[in-house]
Structure 1
Amino acid sequence: MRQHDARRWVLIAGVLGSSMAFIDATAVNVILPVLQNDLRATVAEVQWVIEAYQLFLAALILLGGALGDRFGRRRVFAAGVFIFAVASAACGFAPSAVFLIGARAIQGIGGALLTPGSLALITGAYEDTERGAAIGSWSAFSALTSAAGPVLGGWLAQHLSWRAIFFLNAPIAAAVLAICLLRVKDSRPAQKPGLDPGGALLATLGLGGITYGLIESPQRGFADAAVAGSLVAGAIASLAFIVVESRARAPMLPLDIFRSRAFAGANLLTLFLYGALGGFFFFLPFDLIQLRGYSPTQAGAALLPFAALLFAGSRSAGALAVRIGARKPLTLGPALAAAGLVVMALSPSGGSYWTSTLPGLLLLGIGMTTTIAPLTTTVMSSCPQARAGLASGVNNAVARGASLLAIAVIGAAAIASFSARFEEGLAKLPLAPQVRSELLAQRSRLAALEIPRSVSAHLRKSIESTVASSFRDSFRLALLLAASLALASALVGLLTIRVKGRR
């Protein structure tokens, strides 16, 4: 087989493999309100549908890259694709929210193996002169699949079932595994890296403990033994992770990489900005579908302007950053994103998509488009070339961890807000004690709670109005918290990224 053909097959395998993860990441958010109703899940359980995946992906993605370098990139990539596909099928057959959460956790493990593996295979197959174009092709297809995810997920949920989005991964995985077996040669660096399973375990326990405590706190309270215990255990594990990484022979996360001010600043910016983005995209489908009555397809299509801006403008933003330096776009971009979130938070309730959602979404899209390419360039150029793979992996893990923690924190605040407003609203209605208790018991389902059939038509409308106003207030709070994170990232960009030409 000619070298050109061999490299083309590597690129195809990498693009198809990573497309499963990218479609899944964007499509699942849109179908959350649908699967919540189908599985009668609480908001905490719905949070875990996202968080279980993000937890293992964020905690293990650096280990996944090291495993590929040690045991063979094709082998580990193919293993990740297989695990991801089997877990996806389990998600599709899930009889309950708890089962789905478990399957999503296994999906995250598969994603942690295939995500770094796809780029590592491409990097190893292409020479320096052609590598940029190959990675550019991978990035373009990744953007396309990410953009298609919400619309595809919404359409499948509306016309077939939310389960279909998970079954879609089976034929893609089969094609990728066949290509890997028949067309792709294994590769690995000359020097095998060490592994850090202890660090991976502590990272998982740290992130998992903190996330569990935050998600469960609105229902149980911070004084609850399980909540307080998990938060303390998560904090201890996180501190132990730092100690272990500072002493390990082959640490998963070499702490000296953060001695670079630009690298540390870029990752802190990533933490705040992707936290804002994760919180926003978690709650938006609930507002569109459960409150405004959008169909799943319409909710997915509502996000297309954001994706189109990212796809069309990222290359130009990267070129602009080369001319003027990264500091200005890494300050202005997050500030525009924050402004977009504030515009959506303060838009009048009951407005149309064109007046209440699109203006803010466009500002958010312009802000992210302005930020992403300069941010990536700053991350990759702030470390020696020999550490480029590590720098990329760390930034990827930070972005995933940011979304994980932000959904937990913002979710806890939004649920607490909804509960307080809903209880206050119900107190003003002439409800029977049993009906009031039944409604309050469903607070954790937010706008998806079910009103008892025994309630009269007049009272039903009053309860529905109370649910809607309570959810709007909690959604606005979520957007404002996300905006504060984006604004914090703009401040980080201003203070930590050097002006072009200044040493």
Structure 2
Amino acid sequence: MRKWLPLFAACLGTLMLLIDVTIVNVALPDMSADLGTGLSGLQWIVDCYALALAALLLALGSLADRVGAKQVYLAGLALFAIASLICGIADNAPVLVAARIFQGVGGAAMFATTLSLLHATYTGRDRGVAFGTWGAVSGAAAGIGVVLGGVLTDLLSWRWIFFVNLPIAAVTIVLSAMVFPASQRHPGRDVDVPGMLAFTLAAAGVTFGIIRGGEHGWGDGGALLALAAGVAAVVIFAMIESRVAAPMFPLSLLRNRTLGATLLSASGQTFAAFATMPLLSLWLQQQLHMTPLNAGLAMLPMAATAFLVAGLTGRVLHDARPEWTIGAGLIVVGAGSGLLTLIGTGSSWVAMVPGFVVIGAGIGVNAPALVSTGMAAVSPQQGGTAAGAVNTARQLGLALGVAVLGTVFRDVAGDAGRMPLSDFVSGLDAAVTVAAAVGLTLGVAAFALFRRARVDVPAAIPADAVLID
């Protein structure tokens, strides 16, 4: 039994960081009332965590190679715990957003290292069991997050969605320090700090500009300045990556049509499937007056369907080409988002179920193939970078999706306070329509790119594939 303690430590940390992607969704109405913040503040509470994960995942993976995965994992756990405490005691939205950013930094450190630790700890058949278990736990995180968030918010308060991390982090830190072997270090490897900073500025600038433009109008100077800075940072990032000796993301990989299609689909999946969750949570609680727990349970069918479909179709689709798993799966996700337009002024939560079931089915087909296909498209030496890039694209798609859909909602309905139900539903309808359009458009584009690439089907999911949503 002792041999599985490292797996338990890795799964515990991973579950904690991934739950925090979704656990805040059902607590948003209570946060809004308690902290006196509107839709833009709520968008940042969700977005800043995903942005930090997206911006730092690749860079912290490089840092872990240099100083040791175990050290980076333990540091990430400690930072995550401290940031969670600050989140829980925050008395205003800016403090909470700042603490969520540091949560994201800690989460990125953990996310970038767990698979390396498992790879170094287990061999042979045990390694396969470890990665399979880790993948199952990761896949279940989204569903656990919405339910756990509802339970804690309902029975205690929204602050406990952060306080609950403290004992979990403490146990994980002690256990990880004891059971993981010392990590191999490669001190000669450089960390692409300029690239990391430019990528972070690009992602944050564009996201801030979209949110502020939706709140203050597209002629607002702050919004225009942020968007300009974001675009400039993209250009600077490209220049840095083309010149540094050890780039965070070699731009030559973008010429790989298969990897490009995979990144496109990864970002489109989270945009189309998950970026509507904050708005749907507000609809369930502010308009339908559901409790946080009941709202969390109402949002569970998507994750449950994804888990079931992935389990039932995994072997059948194992040899399918990526256009039929990744591309077609994203098209199904987009179609499911379109079904959310069935929500009307007289609807109950049941109106979400058809859309959630179809979205979950698309995720169940799409998600298991994303990382394995991306890694199979590049050389073995670049497999880790490809896997990190796919997961970066997922988090970036979520962050941009929340920003864009929140802006679309506000343009149609106004802020998400106590507005008339008809206005809220009109804004929600506009947002899910955009989500559907993104999913369908990027799904068709990915399908076409995979068909043209004629990529070989991966013989097996690589041992260090990251199978999460």
| Aligned residue number for residue 390 of structure 2 | 395
Offset at 1:501? 7.5
Q: Superposition RMSD on alpha carbons, in Å?
A: 1.8
The separation in 1 between residues aligned to 2:317 and 2:187, in whole angstroms, is 35
- Name which of structure 1's ranges 181-190 and 396-405 shifts more when overlaid on structure 2: 181-190
Q: Is the 8 A contact 2:21 2:50 kept in 1?
A: no
Offset at 1:500? 10
* The one of 255, 258, 264 aligned to 2:254: 258
Q: Is the 8 A contact 2:328 2:444 kept in 1?
A: no
Where do 4+ consecutive residues of structure 1 move more than 6 Å? 499-503
Distance 1:493 1:218, change over 3 A: closer
Q: Are 2:402 and 1:482 equivalent residues in the alignment?
A: no
Q: Are 2:402 and 1:414 equivalent residues in the alignment?
A: no
Once the two structures are aligned, what percentage of the paired residues are identical?
A: 32
The separation in 2 between residues aligned to 1:499 and 1:359, in whole angstroms, is 33
The separation in 2 between residues aligned to 1:41 and 1:240, in whole angstroms, is 34
| Aligned residue number for residue 321 of structure 2 | 325
SS of 1:90 mapped into structure 2: helix
SS of 2:346 mapped into structure 1: coil
Offset at 1:146? 2.9
Q: Are 2:447 and 1:494 equivalent residues in the alignment?
A: yes
Unpaired runs of 5+ residues, structure 2, are: 457-469
Unpaired runs of 5+ residues, structure 1, are: 420-443, 450-463
| Aligned residue number for residue 441 of structure 1 | none
| Aligned residue number for residue 427 of structure 1 | none
Offset at 1:268? 1.0
Q: Is the 8 A contact 1:324 1:500 kept in 2?
A: no
The separation in 2 between residues aligned to 1:278 and 1:204, in whole angstroms, is 22
Q: Is the 8 A contact 1:318 1:374 kept in 2?
A: no
The separation in 2 between residues aligned to 1:10 and 1:192, in whole angstroms, is 28
- 1:390-441 C-alpha deviation (Å, 9 max, x unpaired): 111011111111111111112112111113xxxxxxxxxxxxxxxxxxxxxx
Number of residue-to-residue matches in the alignment: 456
| Aligned residue number for residue 270 of structure 1 | 266
Offset at 1:115? 0.9
For the pair shown, which has the larger CA radius of gyration, 1 or 2?
A: 1
Q: Are 2:468 and 1:473 equivalent residues in the alignment?
A: no
The separation in 2 between residues aligned to 1:502 and 1:150, in whole angstroms, is 37
Offset at 1:134? 1.0
Matches within 5 A, 1:13-92: 13-92=9-88
| Aligned residue number for residue 372 of structure 2 | 377
- Name which of structure 1's ranges 315-324 and 193-202 shifts more when overlaid on structure 2: 315-324
Q: Is the 8 A contact 2:288 2:348 kept in 1?
A: no
Q: Is the 8 A contact 1:23 1:145 kept in 2?
A: yes
Matched AA of 1:475? L
The separation in 1 between residues aligned to 2:279 and 2:343, in whole angstroms, is 16
Offset at 1:321? 2.7
Q: Are 2:374 and 1:365 equivalent residues in the alignment?
A: no
Matches within 5 A, 1:158-307: 158-188=154-184, 192-307=188-303
SS of 2:275 mapped into structure 1: helix
**What is the TM-score when the length of structure 2 is the normalising length?**
0.93
Q: Is the 8 A contact 1:336 1:364 kept in 2?
A: yes
- Name which of structure 1's ranges 137-146 and 64-73 shifts more when overlaid on structure 2: 137-146
Offset at 1:189? 5.6
The separation in 2 between residues aligned to 1:283 and 1:186, in whole angstroms, is 44
Matched AA of 1:338? G
The separation in 1 between residues aligned to 2:197 and 2:454, in whole angstroms, is 42
SS of 1:174 mapped into structure 2: helix
Q: Is the 8 A contact 1:315 1:373 kept in 2?
A: no
Q: Is the 8 A contact 2:67 2:185 kept in 1?
A: no
- Name which of structure 1's ranges 182-191 and 247-256 shifts more when overlaid on structure 2: 182-191
